[in-house]
Amino acid sequence: MPAIKDSFELTKRFAAGESSAEATLQAALRVIDAREPKVGAFLHLDRDGALAQARDLDARRKQGQKLGPLAAVPIAVKDNIHVAGHATTCASRMLDGFKAPYDATVTARLKAAGAIILGKTNLDEFAMGSSCENSALKQTRNPFDLERVPGGSSGGSAAAVAARMALMALGSDTGGSIREPASFCGVVGLKPSYGRVSRYGLVAFASSLDQIGPFTLSVRDAALSLSVMAGADPLDATSSSEPVPDYLSALRADLRGMRVGVVRAYFDECPNQDVADRCRQAVERMKALGAEIVEIELPRAKDGLAVYYVVASAEASSNLSRFDGVRYGLREKTPSAIQNYFATRGRGFGPEVKRRIMLGTYALSAGAYEEFYGRASRVRTLMVNDFKAAFARCDVIASPTAPFTAFRAGEKSDPLSMYLCDIYTIPANLAGLCALSMPVGADARGLPVGLQLQCAPYAETTLFGAASALESDLNLNLAPTL
């Protein structure tokens, strides 16, 4: 890639005529050719399509046409988000042979803004996982240590940005699937408020929790990308009609007048001392920038993991019933329709997806619904109320993003230890908050550590303000040596 800091800088250079879209793309492809064989971030790379997009941008600029705010930025897309004419696999055998007939709303908005779509990135199958090891198609490695995982489920997108193969990438976050890999890979990862970004064209996992968001190299890039993607969409009834603010104007250099809430247990009980120390130091820097540090309580947060795996699994059980071997994707040839259904789903879904479908189906069954799904829904409401009380006392909540740094591939072989990866991130999804992970240092092995900042729904301006001030103060330069 050219020697640039982020997408924001690239667009300024392109607009000034200092670079061409084709030259920028060719530079990105050279990086991909050198690093992709080691990292394995992409499931599909669209060289010809990207080149056509770049040449079109150059031609339009030459004609004096006004171009969008992401003109010439190379972007990767998680492979559970539709790009018209391209395969959407969800990293599963179940969608073998399927091609998206339309663009997701976010994809269409990125294209309209001038972004160049490089291709589709790897993920945990149907976005179910925290390490990207559940992909049925390939293994993605962490650019900071190729023996370690990039996090999940959006591991391919995080790794692509960390390795500078793309300047920006899309992911989806249902329980931490943007923030946790952002932490592991040393990049910025944003989960917008629920409803802030349209989910039309995202393959649904858990519809009341899913949200699309970006991976970027800077906080201002996260603000820039959200300004393009956010806003109401008539194709998504859950998208919000809340006005979209000028997110870039929210960036700030100090935190005077801001109250930062901390849950002491998140730091004191963190199992990794390096993570706890780096995050404490980051909070101290926020204090030095003028913020008031306020201790808060989130008493039901400890129940988040249990609530999430009931609610998310129940919604997944319902959403994934559409993959039946009849209309699209994998189809096993059997003597009868019912045998086809069982054979296709039995072969097409991987172990983790089957586990969650079975758990969710049981939670929704007549004899268990009230005991599991009903109770989980009530506790979820109590968690929302806890956050409302907390945000009456503070503007932003700071915590570790993940309880540890990137672990070795195969290290967490049992489901429970994998589920615990998302213990700090899940509550934001259950409450519909906006949340961001940003790098704040590295552990003793040189692996990135992420700090999570959370704000009330639709308070992304506050989120970007807090994160940008801290980012500028830390002035980190975390980059893998590939």
Query: Out of 130, 131, 135, 153, which one is annotated catalytic?
Result: 153
How many CB atoms lie under 10 A from the CB of residue 328? 16
In the prediction, which pLDDT does 95 show? Answer: 97
pLDDT of residue 162 exceeding 90, the answer is yes
**Quick check: 478 and 188 in contact, CB under 8 A?**
no
**pLDDT at site 133:** 97
Angle formed at CA 395 by CA 394 and CA 398, multiple of 5 degrees: 85
CB 76 within 8 A of CB 187: no
Report residue 238 CA to chain centroid gap. 19
Q: What's the distance, CA 462 to chain centroid?
A: 19
The tens digit of pLDDT for each residue in 358-412 reads: 999 999 999 899 999 999 999 999 999 999 999 999 999 999 999 999 999 999 9
The pLDDT tens digits of the residues spanning 336-354 come to: 888 888 899 999 999 999 9
Q: Is the pLDDT of residue 416 over 90?
A: no
What pTM did the predictor assign? Answer: 0.97
| pLDDT mean over 48-58 | 98
| Mean pLDDT value of segment 431-437 | 98
Residue 152 scores a pLDDT above 50 = yes
The confidence band for 413, taking pLDDT boundaries of 50, 70 and 90, is confident
3-state helix, strand, coil in the chain (%, to 5): 45, 15, 40
Active site residue 78: yes
Residue in 92, 172, 177, 183 annotated catalytic:
177
Residue 350: CATH number of its domain: 3.90.1300.10
| pLDDT tens profile 186-195 | 999 999 999 9
pLDDT at site 109: 98
Confidence at residue 327, expressed as pLDDT on a 0 to 100 scale: 84
Interval 304-337: pLDDT, tens: 999 999 999 999 999 999 998 888 899 888 888 8
In a 10 Å sphere around its CB, with 0-12 CB exposed, 13-18 middle and 19+ buried, how is residue 414 labelled? exposed
Total domain count, the chain: 1
Tell me what the mean pLDDT of segment 178-189 comes to.
Answer: 98
Confidence bin at 1 (pLDDT 50/70/90): very low
pLDDT score recorded for residue 148 = 98
**Nearest of 142, 443, 395 to residue 276 by alpha carbon:** 443
List the catalytic residue out of 7, 20, 78, 154: 78
CA distance 330 to 323: 9
Q: What is the mean pLDDT of residues 146-163?
A: 98
Residue 4 has pLDDT above 90, yes or no: no
| Pairing of β 292-295 and β 434-442 | unpaired
Q: Cβ(273)–Cβ(356) under 8 Å?
A: no
- Residue 2, pLDDT above cutoff 70: no
Question: What's the one-letter identity of residue 71?
Answer: A
Q: What number is the average pLDDT over the span 429-442?
A: 98
* Range of the structural domain that residue 183 is part of: 1-482
> Count of residues for the chain?
482
Q: What percent of the chain has pLDDT over 90?
A: 93
Predicted pLDDT at 78: 98
> Which two structure tokens, joined as six digits, stand for 228?
């393009």
What is residue 338's predicted lDDT score, i.e. its pLDDT?
85
Query: What is the predicted pLDDT for the residue at 331?
Result: 87
DSSP state of 197: B
Rounded to whole angstroms, the Cα distance separating 347 from 355 reads: 14
**Over the chain, what is the mean pLDDT?**
96
3-state secondary structure of 122: coil
pLDDT value, residue 3? 63
Q: Using 50, 70 and 90 to split pLDDT, how confident is the model at 185?
A: very high
